[in-house]
Chains A and B, each alone.
Chain A
Amino acid sequence: GAVVSQHPSWVICKSGTSVKIECRSLDFQATTMFWYRQFPKQSLMLMATSNEGSKATYEQGVEKDKFLINHASLTLSTLTVTSAHPEDSSFYICSAQSASGETEAFFGQGTRLTVV
């Protein structure tokens, strides 16, 4: 199957700083990428849908000014957690959908963010 890579796999940052997480589709072009958040022992919650070349669509309750999403190319989307706080500590997962129209989404390995 197609490969989606997230970087970094884990990051620890100080409260108040910003952290950028990258999501790359390695062997296909992704017109749409999705960002999820997974709390311990809970399911994935969709945060936003990122479309190449346009603004992201955020789910209800997700602060767009706090979670900045950029999808500047067909193989890269980034999520920046701005002014991070300990409650932002979580597992962030991206998925990417092929530009060919295949409806299956391929997932990255996730990024564990710890804010201290």
Chain B
Amino acid sequence: AQSVSQHNHHVILSEAASLELGCNYSYGGTVNLFWYVQYPGQHLQLLLKYFSGDPLVKGIKGFEAEFIKSKFSFNLRKPSVQWSDTAEYFCAVNARAAGNKLTFGGGTRVLVKP
């Protein structure tokens, strides 16, 4: 069975700081990888996804993530955060052999101080 681990539960940083959120998964086969964001009071939205090809994926709102297969990682980055990036971020994995079920990490709450 696949599992997803997000290293940080809470991150607090100031505007313009750089952000990196770690995500590791355990599954030996081919996977699709996702980062979702949940703004306060809103539903989950897709930030970016990786299916195949270039391991550096660019998403919306200036976010990017890099898939490193050898490390089973899919870390999320943003060079300069804004107050509006305050949200909870979820990494998710879908093992292609397991159909389309998504397994989520525990989530990371990010607070950006103005």
Contacts and interface: CB of A to CB of B under 8 A. Distances in A.
Given A104-B49, A109-B43, A42 B102 contact: no
Q: Which 3 A-B pairs have the closest CB atoms?
A: A109-B43, A107-B44, A43-B104
Interface of B: 32, 34, 36, 42-46, 49, 51, 90, 94, 99-107
A95 to B, nearest CB: 8
A104 B101 CA distance: 10
A43 B105 contact: yes
Contacts of B45: 107
Given A34-B102, A43-B104, A97-B100, 7 more contacts: A34-B101, A44-B90, A46-B103, A104-B34, A105-B100, A105-B102, A109-B43
Contacts of A103: 32, 51, 94, 100
A107 B107 CA distance: 16
Nearest to B1: A60
Given A34-B101, A103-B32, A105-B102, A43 B107 contact: yes
A19 to B, nearest CB: 19
A32 interface: yes
A49 B49 CA distance: 21
Contact of A49 (B46, B90, B99, B104): B99
B101 to A, nearest CB: 6
Nearest to B94: A103
A42 B6 CA distance: 12
A32 B99 CA distance: 10
